[in-house]
Amino acid sequence: MNEFSILLPIIIPLVGAMLVIIVRRLGGMKEGAALLATIFSLVTAIMLYGRELNYSLPWAGFGMEFTLRLYHFSAFILLAVSVFAFLITLYCCSFMRGKSYGVWFYFYLLISAAMVNGAVLADNLILMLFFWEGLLVTLFGMIAIGGKEAFKAATKAFIIIGICDLCMMFGIALTGYLAGTMTISKISMSPGSLGSVAFIFLMIGAISKAGSMPFHSWIPDAAVNAPLPFMAFLPASLEKLLGIYFLARISLDMFKLDVNSWLSILLMVIGSITILAAVMMALIQKDYKKLLSYHAISQVGYMVLGIGTCLPVGIVGGLFHMINHALYKSCLFLTGGSVEKQAGTTSLDKLGGLALKMPITFICFLVAAASISGVPPFNGFFSKELVYEGALQRGAIFYLAAVLGSFFTAASFLKLGHSAFLGKVSDANKNVKEAAPAMLLPMIVIALICILFGVYNHFPLSNFIKPILGEQRLAGHEFAINTTLIVITVVVLTGALLHHLFAVKITGSGLKSADYIRYAPVFRGIYNRAENKYFDPYDIGLKIVNVITKTAWRIDRAVDWIYEGLTVRAVYLFSNGIRSAHTGNYSLYIVWSLLGAVLVLIVIMKSV
Amino acid sequence: MVLILNIILLVLFVVGAVWTMMTTRLLHSAVGLAFTSAVLTVLMFQLDSPLAAVFELSVCAGLVSAIFISTIMLTKRVTAEELIVQRKIRLASFWFLPIVVVAAAIVLSLIHIPVDFKLPEPPVENNVKNIMWNLRHLDLMGQIAILLTGVFGVVTLFKESKHD
Amino acid sequence: MLSLFVLLPFLAIVMLNLPLKTVTRQLALWFGIALSAGQVFVVIFQPDVFWNGTDLLGRFFTLRLQADNLSMVMLLSIGIVTFAAILVGRQTIADSRLRFNFMNLVLLSLIGMNGTVLLTDLFSLYIFIEVVAISSFILIAFQRDLNALEGAFKYIILSAVATVLMLLSVSVLLMAAGDTSFSSVAAAVKNSSSSHFVRFAIGIFICGLFIKGGLVPFHGWLPAAYSMAPAAVSVLLAGIVTKVSGIYALIRLSTSVFGPDSSLNAVLMIAGAVSIVIGALAATGQSDFKRMLAYSSISQVGYIILALGCGTKLALVGAVFHLFNHSIFKSLLFVNSAAVEQQTGTSDMDKMGGLGSRMPYTNATSLIAFLSTAGVPPLAGFWSKLIIVIALWQSGYYIYAFIAILSSIITLGYLLSMQRRVFFGILSDKLQAVREAGFGIVFPACVLAAITVGVGLSFPFIFNSFIIPIGAFLK
Amino acid sequence: MTNDMAVVLWLFGVAAALVLIVGFYCLIATVNLIRALIGLEILTKAVTLFIILAGYVTGRTGLAQALAITLIIIEVVVVVVAVGVVLCVFSHNKSVDVRMIRNVKG
C-alpha cells in the first residue's frame, strides 16, 4: 500500500457518489451502489488503520499545500466514520424505499463522508478548512432535500454554521500568521495574548460544528423535518466526531492548553452550561426526535467539559464519550426512524405500547437509553465516570453540573421510554408490525458495540483513545475506578427512577411526568421565552438584518431622488431662466455688453 | 482767444448731438446729424487736420445725411396725430438725456486724470498723402474690399428680385 | 508670397464680374471651391515655391504681412470651412443670381479673413475685421427673410458697438505708442503698463473682441444671427467668422501685443468659464436645432478662451488645437442642420424624429460631430479638451478644470437629446418624403467627419510633430 | 507735453466722451430703427474726434488723418448696408419700429 492509498478514503466515497447518480440514471439499484461504496471505504479504513502515512502536493502556493497525514487519531476517526456510513446506508436501504429524494440523500451522504475523511486527514489548516466547508454544503443539501419546510431549517443551519466558520477562518489566518506555517503538525505555541484570541476563534468553529450551546439552535429545527437518517448520520455522529477531533487537536497539539489557563475554565463553563440547559429543554419535549436532538446537544457538553479539564483523565473521558455518544445517539435515532416508519408519527402523545409490537426496536432502545444515561454496565457509564473524575479534580461545581445533567437525562429517557413503548396501546397503532430486517440489523450491531465498549472498555481505551494523548502525558495516571463516584451515580440513577415512578403515579401518564417542572414558577418564564425562540441568536440576527435592509433601501431611494430629481430639475430651471433672459431686444444685449465692459475694466484697471 | 472759440464749438458739438437725439421728427434728427458733422469739421480744422475735415464734411455731412433723408422719405409719412403720440413717447424715454449729459460733463470736468504715460517722439513721416498711399497699402486694399462688399450689399439688398 | 492669400480672391472677384456674365455665372462657385481647396493644399503641403519664392507682387506693395504657426492653423481652418460652406451653398441656394452674389460675398469674406490672420497692424486688424463683418451682415440678410434680417440688424448694431470700443482704444494706444503696428504698441504697453489710460485701452479693446467673439455677457447677437442665417452662411459664420474676427485677434493680442498680463488672463478665464456654463445650460432646453448649435458654439468658444486665459504654453496649444477642432466639428454640425433643414423644411426639432433611417450619412456624421463636441475619447474633440484640462490642472486652476469637465457632461446631455430627437425614434408621417441630402451636402459632411476622426485617431502620432509646434508663436 | 496741449486734450476729450454717452444712450433707448442708425453715426463722429485728437496731441496729425479718412469710408459702407437691411425690414413689416423685430428669442 504505497502512500497514494491515503487518498483513497477521500476518493472512494466521491466516486461512489458519482456512481449513485449514474446508476440512478440507468435505472439500476441506487442503494446497491451506495452500499458497495461504503463497504469498500470501510475495508480501506480497516486496512489503513495503524499506519503512519504522509502525502504532500503543491496546491495554491503561499504556504497552502495539499498535505495529508494519517496517524492513529485520524485513522480511528476514519474507521468510525466508515462504520457509521455503512450502517446508515444499510438502514436507508429500507427506510428510503418510499421517499422521492433517496438518490440525493445517498449522494450527499457519500460526499459528506468524503469531506469528513478529508478534513480529518488534512495536515494543512487551509486544506482542512476546504473540506470543513464542503461538509457545510452537504449538510445544507441533506436538510434541504427534506422538503419545503426543511429548507427554512437548512438555511438557518447554513447561516449559523457559516458565520461560525467565518470566525474559524479568521482564527486560522491568525494562527497561520502567528505560527508562520499552515501545516497543523508543525504548529505548536503557548497561547499568549494573540494566541488565545486565535484559540477562541478556532474553538468557536469546532464547538459550532459539534453543536454545543451557543450555536445549537439549528439542530432541533432540523430534527423535525429533515430526513431522519440525516439526523442519525451527521448531527449524531459525524459532526461530533469532527468537531471534537478538531477541538482536541487545537487544545492538545496546537495550543497546548494547561490547567491554569483561563481558556480551559472557559471550555468547562461552556460544557457545563450546555449540559444543563439542553437537558432541561429536552425534558419537556413532546416529540421523539426533538427530545433526542436536545440530548445530542447536552452530551456534547460532557465532551467539551472533559477536554476543557486539560487533565489526562478528563481528556480521555471526553474522547471516549465522543465515540460512545456517536454510537448510542445514532442507535436512538435509528429506533426513532423505525418508530416513525412503522407508527407513522413521532409525537409521543400518539405513541404508546409499542414494546409488544416492536420488541427488537424496544430492546435496542433500552440498551441505547441505558448507556446514554450512564447505567453501569454500558459504555456511557465508563466515559462519564472519567469525565466526572476530571471535573471533580478541577472543581465541584463542574462535577455537580455533570451529575445533575445525567440525572435529568435519565429522567427524560424514562419518560420517553414509558410514553413511547410502555403504557396501553392506542387504537391508531394497533396493527403496527416490527420494522424491516434491513433497518433492525444496524440497530442491533450498534447496540452490541455499545455493550462491547461498555464491558470491555479497556479495549477501546487502550488502542483507540490513549495513543492520542501520547505516552508522556499518560505517565503516572492509571485509571483506577473511583468507588465514591460510582456510588453517587448509582444513587442518582435510582433517584431518577423513583422520581419517574412517583411522577407517573401523580400525573397518570408517562408523558406528563416532567410537566410539573415545565410549569414551576421560575422555569415557566424561561421555558415560555425559550419556546418562542427568544434566546435564539439566529432570530435576533434576522431582526437586525431586517432593520439594516430597510434603512439601506430608504438611503438608496434618497440617492436616486437626488440624482434624478434634483440635478435634472436644477439644470432645466437654470436653462429656462437663461433662455427667458434672451428677450430678443437688442438694446438689452447692448446693456449686457456695456455692463460686461464695465466689469472687465474694473478687473483690469484695479490691478494697476 | 482760440481757446474760447474751441469751447464754443465743443459746446455746439455736444448740443447738436443732444438735439439730434431729442427731436421727435426724424427729418429734424437727420438735419441735426448734418449740423453736428459740420461742427466736427470745424473742430478738425482747429486740430490742424484739414484733409480729414474736408473728407468728413463732404462724406458724412453730405452723403450720409442724404442717405438718411432718402430712407426717411422711403418709409411711411408720419401723420399729425401720430406725431403727437410719438412726441409723448419720445419725451417719456428721452427727457433725462440732457440731465445725464450735464451731470457727466460736471463729473468729467471735476476728475482730472493726469496723462501718466510718456508721449512718443515726433514722427518721421507726417504727410497724409504719403502715409496713405505709400506706407499703408494694406489699409487701401482693405478699403477696396469694403467698397466691393458695399457694392454687392447694395446689389443684393436693394435690387427688387423678380418674384416679390 | 503671403500677399497672394489676399490678392488671389481679388483677382477671382474681378474675373467673375467681367462682362461675359453667362459663362462666369455657372462657374462662379467653382472659383471659390478651387481657391479654398488651393489654400488648404498650400498650407498643408507647404510648397516652397509658394512660401519662399520671390514675392513679386510684394515689391509693389508694403503689406507687412507675417505668418507664424498660429496663422497657419487659422488659414487651414479658413480654407476647410469655406470649402464646406461653398459646397453647401451650391446645394441649398436655388436662385442662380443669389448664388452668384453669395459667391462674391464669400470670396470677400475670404479676403477679410486671410488678411486678418496675416496682418501685423492694429488699425488694419480693425479694417479687415470690418470687411469680414460687413460681408457676413449681407450674407445673413441676402435671402430677405424677416428673421434673417432681424438677426443681421442685431449683428450690425452690436458689431458697431464693438468697433466703437476698438477704435476708442486704438486712439488711446495711438496717443501712447505713436504708431498702430503690433510691435510699437507692444513696446508702449510694456514700458507704460501702469498708466490708467493704457490699461483702459487694453480693457476696451478686449471687450470689443469679446463682442465679436460672442462670449457670454457680450453674446446677445450670436444665437439670432447663427440660427436665422441661411444654411450655408451659418456654416461659414459658426465655423470660422467669429473665430477669426474674435478669438484669433484675442489670442494674437493677449499673447504678443498686450503681453502676458495677470489681470487680463483672469478676465479671460472668468469670461471663458462663464460662457462655458451659460452656453451649455442655455443650449439644454432649446427646441430649435440651429439655435442649440449656436449656444453650443458659445460654450465651446468658452473652452478656448478659458485655455487662453490659463497662459501656459500647453494651455495655448490646447486652445489653438480646440479652435481648429471646433471649427471642423461645429461646421459639420451646421452642415448636418443644413441637410436636415433642406429635407424637412424646418429646423424645429420637435417636428422632426426618426430621420436616421432616411438620412444615414447625415446621421452618422452628426453622431461623429456631437461625440467629438462632447469630448468622447477616440475623436479629436476629446484630445483638445484633455490638453486644456491637463493644462488647467497643472497650473493649479482646479475649480476651472472641474467646471470644464462638468459642463462637457451637460454638453453630452443636450447633444444626445438633439441626436435622439432628430435622428432616432420613429419617422413621423409628415416626413415620409424625406430622402438623403444631395451629394453636395453629404460630401463636405463626410470630409469634415473624416478630418475629425483622422485627427482624433492620429493624435498620438501628430502630437509632437504638429500640435506642440503650434505653441512656437508664444515667445 | 505742454500744459496748453493738456488743456486742449482734456477739453476735447470731455466733449467727445459726452457725445459718446449720447450715442450709446440713443442706441439703447430708441424705438425707431433709423434713429438707432443715427445714434450709430453720432458714435462714429465721437470716435473720429478721439482719433484726430490723439493725432494732434502727439503731433502725428498725418497718420491720424489717414486713419480718420479710412474710418469714415468704412462707416459709410456700414451705414449703407444697415439702411439696406432696415429698408428690407420695412418692406416686410411696413414699419421701422424696433419692437417689431423682437421675435427671435429664447
Helices (H), A427-511: 437-455, 458-460, 466-469, 471-474, 483-507
Core vs surface per residue B142-152: b (16+ CB within 10 A) or e: bbebbebbbeb
Residue type, A220: P
Structural contact between residues C311 and C260, judged by C-beta atoms closer than 8 angstroms:
yes
Nearest to B122 among D39, D49, D59 (CB): D59
Q: What pLDDT score does B107 carry?
A: 86
Residues of C in contact with A599 (CB under 8 A): 217
CA distance D104 to chain B (A): 21
Q: Quick check: B90 pLDDT over 80?
A: no
Q: Residue length, chain C?
A: 475
More confidently predicted of C137 and A461: C137
Residues of C in contact with A589 (CB under 8 A): 154, 158, 220-221
B24 & B88 share domain: yes
B91 & B132 share domain: no
CB pairs under 8 A between A and D: 24
Instruction: Indicate whether B115 belongs to any domain.
Output: no
Q: Which residue of A has its CA nearest to D32?
A: A587
- Cβ pair C223:D104 closer than 8 A: yes
- Quote the CA–CA distance of C83 and C105 in Å, as a whole number: 14
Give the distance between the most distant pair of CA atoms in chain C. Answer: 69
- Cβ pair D44:C164 closer than 8 A: yes
B130 & B103 share domain: no
- State mean pLDDT over C181-195: 87
- Chain A: partners with 3+ C-beta pairs within 8 Å: C, D
Residues of B in contact with C108 (CB under 8 A): 145, 148-149, 152
Which residues contact residue A20 at a Cβ distance below 8 angstroms, ignoring those fewer than 6 apart? A30, A33, A34, A37, A103, A106, A107, A110
Q: Which residue of D has its CA nearest to C170?
A: D51
Average pLDDT over chain C reads 88
Residues linked to residue B106 through DSSP beta bridges, in sequence order: none
Q: Which of A586, A592, A593 should we substitute to test contact with D (largest number of D Cβ atoms within 10 Å)? A: A586
Residue type, C185: V
Number of other residues whose CB lies within 10 A of the CB of residue B64: 24
Q: Which three cell numbers stand for residue A253?
A: 497539539
Query: What would the pLDDT profile of A456-491 be if each residue is shown by its tens digit?
Result: 877 777 777 777 777 666 665 666 667 787 888 888
- State mean pLDDT over A216-227: 83
CA distance C160 to chain A (A): 11
B46 & B1 share domain: yes
The percent of residues in chain D predicted with pLDDT above 90, rounded, is 50
Q: What pLDDT score does B76 carry?
A: 75
B84 & B22 share domain: yes
Q: What pLDDT score does C294 carry?
A: 93
Q: What pLDDT score does C438 carry?
A: 84
B89 & B35 share domain: yes
Nearest to D60 among B75, B126, B132 (CB): B126
B111 HSE (CA, 13 A, CB side): 8
Instruction: Indicate whether D19 belongs to any domain.
Output: yes
- State mean pLDDT over A49-77: 80
- Locus of grid cell 489670442: C251
Packed helices A437-455 and A72-95: angle between N→C axes, nearest 10 degrees: 150
Distances (CA, A) of A355 to A344, A420, A424, A446: 16, 8, 10, 19
Q: Any CB–CB contact under 8 A between D77 and chain C?
A: yes
Q: Which three cell numbers stand for residue A45?
A: 479504513
Instruction: Indicate whether D95 belongs to any domain.
Output: yes
Q: Any CB–CB contact under 8 A between C416 and chain D?
A: no
Structural contact between residues A492 and A401, judged by C-beta atoms closer than 8 angstroms:
no
Q: Quick check: C474 pLDDT over 80?
A: no
Q: What pLDDT score does C138 carry?
A: 94
Low-confidence winner among A543-557, B122-136, C224-238, C259-273 (lowest mean pLDDT): B122-136
Query: What would the pLDDT profile of A510-556 be if each residue is shown by its tens digit?
Result: 677 777 777 777 777 777 777 777 777 788 888 888 999 999 999 99
Q: Quick check: C211 pLDDT over 80?
A: yes
Q: Which three cell numbers stand for residue C382?
A: 476629446
Own/partner contacts of A519-527, CB < 8 Å, gap of 24 or more, are A523/A280, A527/A284
Q: Any CB–CB contact under 8 A between C211 and chain A?
A: yes
Q: Which residue of A has its CA nearest to D99?
A: A585
- Quote the CA–CA distance of A442 and A343 in Å, as a whole number: 19
Q: Any CB–CB contact under 8 A between C223 and chain D?
A: yes
Q: Which three cell numbers stand for residue D9?
A: 486734450
CA distance A586 to chain D (A): 8
- Cβ pair B76:D95 closer than 8 A: yes
Give the distance between the most distant pair of CA atoms in chain B. Answer: 64
- State mean pLDDT over A379-385: 84
Q: Mind spelling out the 3-state secondary structure of A561-597?
A: HHHHHHHHHHHHHHHHHHHHHCCCCHHHHHHHHHHHH
Q: What is the ipTM of this complex?
A: 0.91
Residues of D in contact with A582 (CB under 8 A): 105-106
Closest-CA residue to A284 (of A509, A513, A575): A513
Distances (CA, A) of C332 to A606, C218, C328, C458: 42, 25, 6, 19
Closest-CA residue to A137 (of A118, A119, A153, A161): A161
Q: Which residue of D has its CA nearest to B117?
A: D1
Residues of A in contact with C158 (CB under 8 A): 586, 589-590, 593
Residues of A in contact with C157 (CB under 8 A): 586, 590
Q: Which residue of B has its CA nearest to C189?
A: B117
B91 & B139 share domain: no
SS3 category, A101:
coil
Nearest to C131 among B116, B142, B156 (CB): B142
Instruction: Indicate whether B134 belongs to any domain.
Output: yes
- Cβ pair C220:A589 closer than 8 A: yes
Query: What would the pLDDT profile of C73-95 be if each residue is shown by its tens digit?
Result: 999 999 999 999 999 998 888 88
Nearest to A584 among D24, D28, D103 (CB): D103
Nearest to D106 among A579, A586, A590 (CB): A579
Per the structure, the count of domains in chain D is 1
B51 & B24 share domain: yes
B94 & B56 share domain: yes
CA distance C411 to chain A (A): 12
Q: What pLDDT score does A341 carry?
A: 82
Residues of C in contact with A595 (CB under 8 A): 217
Q: What pLDDT score does C321 carry?
A: 92
Per the structure, the count of domains in chain B is 2
Q: What pLDDT score does C349 carry?
A: 86
SS3 category, A338:
helix
- Cβ pair A589:C158 closer than 8 A: yes
Query: What would the pLDDT profile of B23-33 be if each residue is shown by its tens digit?
Result: 888 889 999 99
Structural contact between residues A307 and A318, judged by C-beta atoms closer than 8 angstroms:
yes
Query: What would the pLDDT profile of B104-156 be if each residue is shown by its tens digit?
Result: 888 888 877 777 777 777 777 778 888 888 878 888 889 999 999 999 999 88
B93 & B46 share domain: yes
- State mean pLDDT over A380-396: 84
The percent of residues in chain C predicted with pLDDT above 90, rounded, is 52
Q: Which of C153, C195, C219 should we substitute to test contact with D (largest number of D Cβ atoms within 10 Å)? A: C153
Q: Quick check: A21 pLDDT over 60?
A: yes
The percent of residues in chain C predicted with pLDDT above 70, rounded, is 97
Confidence band (pLDDT; 50, 70, 90) for A591? very high
CB pairs under 8 A between A and C: 96
Average pLDDT over chain B reads 84
Low-confidence winner among A313-322, A326-335, A466-475, C271-280 (lowest mean pLDDT): A466-475
Residues linked to residue C288 through DSSP beta bridges, in sequence order: C348
Residues of C in contact with D67 (CB under 8 A): 123, 170, 174, 180
Residues of C in contact with D89 (CB under 8 A): 146, 149-150, 153
Q: Mind spelling out the 3-state secondary structure of D42-82?
A: HHHHHHHHHHHHHHHHHCCHHHHHHHHHHHHHHHHHHHHHH
Residue D33 sits in a domain whose CATH number is: 1.10.287.3510
More confidently predicted of A176 and A429: A176
Query: What would the pLDDT profile of D16-56 be if each residue is shown by its tens digit?
Result: 999 999 999 999 888 889 999 999 999 999 999 999 999 98
B80 & B20 share domain: yes
Instruction: Indicate whether D106 belongs to any domain.
Output: no
Distances (CA, A) of C51 to A553, C41, C45, C46, C55: 71, 12, 11, 7, 9
Question: The domain containing residue B21 runs over which residues?
Answer: 1-107
Question: Residue A566's Cα: distance from chain center in Å?
Answer: 53
Average pLDDT over chain A reads 83
Q: What pLDDT score does B164 carry?
A: 44
Question: The domain containing residue D54 runs over which residues?
Answer: 3-101
Q: Any CB–CB contact under 8 A between C123 and chain A?
A: no
Q: Which residues of C touch B (CB under 8 A)?
A: 6, 10, 13, 61-65, 95, 97-98, 101, 104-105, 108, 111-112, 115, 119, 121, 123-124, 127-128, 130-131, 134-135, 137-138, 141-142, 144, 175-179, 188, 192, 194-198
CA distance B8 to chain D (A): 11
Q: Which residue of C has its CA nearest to A607?
A: C263
- Quote the CA–CA distance of A408 and C312 in Å, as a whole number: 90
B55 & B19 share domain: yes
Query: What would the pLDDT profile of A329-368 be if each residue is shown by its tens digit?
Result: 888 888 888 888 888 777 887 777 777 878 888 888 888 8
Q: Which three cell numbers stand for residue C295?
A: 449656444
